[in-house]
Amino acid sequence: MPRPWHPGALIGFSAALHAAAAAGVALRPEAWPWAAGAVAANHGLLTAAGLLPRCSLLGTNWTRLPGTAAARGEIALTIDDGPDPDVTPRVLDLLDAHRARATFFVIGRLVREHPALAREIVARGHAVENHSEHHLKTFSLHGPRWLVREIGAAQDTIAEVCGRTPRFFRAPAGLRNPFLEPVLARLDLQLASWTRRAYDTRNGDADAVASRLLDGRDGKMRSGDILLLHDGNAARTSCGRAVILEALPRVLDGCRASGLIPVTLEHAIP
């Protein structure tokens, strides 16, 4: 079932500006350089909004859990870019040991490569959500038709393999364009970004990764936060281990010490 598309503030403004520029040029053709300049500046603004993963000017974007979940002391661990046959099983063991639930933003292509592992994530009580079919670096450069195919393919892959249709989408590297939100509305998906991330695809220092999540620039971790870690594409520690395997136990200990309960994003839907 598609959901209604509510254009973000910037989309409404941009549409009005384009209409005004067209009307202005029709009435006063000599004013075309002003109209062209205004439209170009507007496109710059739209591009900038798409480059900021936590920005909600292009459409609704979960950067925190809803207030009802935060009031219950809940927090969300989101784990991207898997499933990975070496790292994900160990992440699942760590989550089990701490009785924590997490949300895995999986890549459709990897779900097809490792279907049993994808099913195991769900069987052990976690959620699998849509992180696109191919996780291409050029994701945000494509138009609506391509986006429907790419995101729809991952919906189909995950539904077919895991028996469950995703409710959330996260853009590769968080990069978006103005066509994404109407496509997500059509596929009944909610965009989710994060409150805190630790750049753990580049930083192999587990202490730095954990402390950035627990006590980053925005102060101490608190209820309602959405944390971002990676089981796929993970940076390696000096011993060659995926950094999540050393950082996650510290983050989970930190949750317990603060009385925070890790839940899936789906669980937090009001």
Size of the site for Zn ion (CB under 5 A): 2
CB of 173 to Zn ion, least distance (A): 6
Q: Which is nearer to Zn ion, 139 or 179 (CB)?
A: 139
Q: How far is the CB of 201 from Zn ion (least distance, A)?
A: 8
Judged by CB, which is closer to Zn ion: 80, or 200? 80
Positions marked catalytic? 80, 230
The nearer residue to Zn ion, 81 or 129, going by C-beta atoms, is 81
Closest approach of Cβ 268 to Zn ion, in Å? 21
Q: How far is the CB of 172 from Zn ion (least distance, A)?
A: 5
CB of residue 230 vs Zn ion: minimum separation in angstroms? 7
Q: Please, which residue, 36 or 141, has the CB nearer to Zn ion?
A: 141
Considering only residues 53-112, where is the footprint of Zn ion by CB under 5 A? 80-81
Rounded to 5 degrees, what angle do the CA atoms 184, 187, 189 make?
55
Compare residues 83 and 254 and give the one whose CB is closer to Zn ion.
83
The phi, psi pair for 122, rounded to 5°, reads: -70, -45
Residue 215, amino acid: D
- 192, 129 in Cβ contact below 8 A? yes
The pattern of x and - marking residues 172 through 191 that bind Zn ion according to CB under 5 A reads --------------------
Contact set with Zn ion (CB under 5 A): 80-81
